[in-house]
Amino acid sequence: MDLAPDLNTMVKDSVVAALQSPHVVKLLTEALVESVTQAVVKKLEETLQINSAAIQRMENELKKKEEKIEELKQEMRKRSDDLEQYQRRNNLRIFGVPENKKENADAVVIKGIKVIKEIVGRRAIISWTSLMLKKKTQ
């Protein structure tokens, strides 16, 4: 005698009867909601940890890059200052030569350069500037 079909039918009938009970459906629903909620919360926590680690890593990289930018800015300022100082090294200031607003400053400088070349020899003259100095009136 095979009891399996009878046992199968009995279990099936019992489950159907249990599912028709509002109390059993409520318990199953609560258990299912709790289980799904826990799974979702766990997955969200894992995702949050991964994202938090990624954000922390990016913040650290950003901080390092900002420090590098500041370091490069300081280096560029120093190089700019050095370059300005180097360029000033080649400047020649002449005092005591009166200026006239009607004169061509370039022509005067070129005449002066010809005289200086004879004295100093051949050297590169990069640029010249004529400054009109105003006397302070008190």
Task: Write out the residue range of the structural domain in which residue 76 sits.
Answer: 10-91
What is the model's pTM?
A: 0.45
The Cα–Cα gap between 91 and 122 comes to 16
Domain assignment present for residue 2? The answer is no
* pLDDT tens track for 49-71: 999 999 999 999 999 999 999 99
Query: What's the number of CA atoms in the CB half-sphere (13 Å) around residue 92?
Result: 13
Radius of gyration of the CA atoms of the chain, in A: 46
Query: Which range is most confident: 13-17, 47-51, 87-91, 113-117?
Result: 47-51
pLDDT tier at 137 (50, 70, 90 boundaries)? very low
Domains held by the chain: number: 1
Domain assignment present for residue 20? The answer is yes
Domain assignment present for residue 67? The answer is yes
- In contact, 99 and 130? CB cutoff 8 Å: yes
pLDDT tier at 135 (50, 70, 90 boundaries)? very low
Domain assignment present for residue 75? The answer is yes
Domain assignment present for residue 69? The answer is yes
* pLDDT tens track for 2-52: 666 788 888 888 888 888 989 988 999 999 999 999 999 999 999 999 999
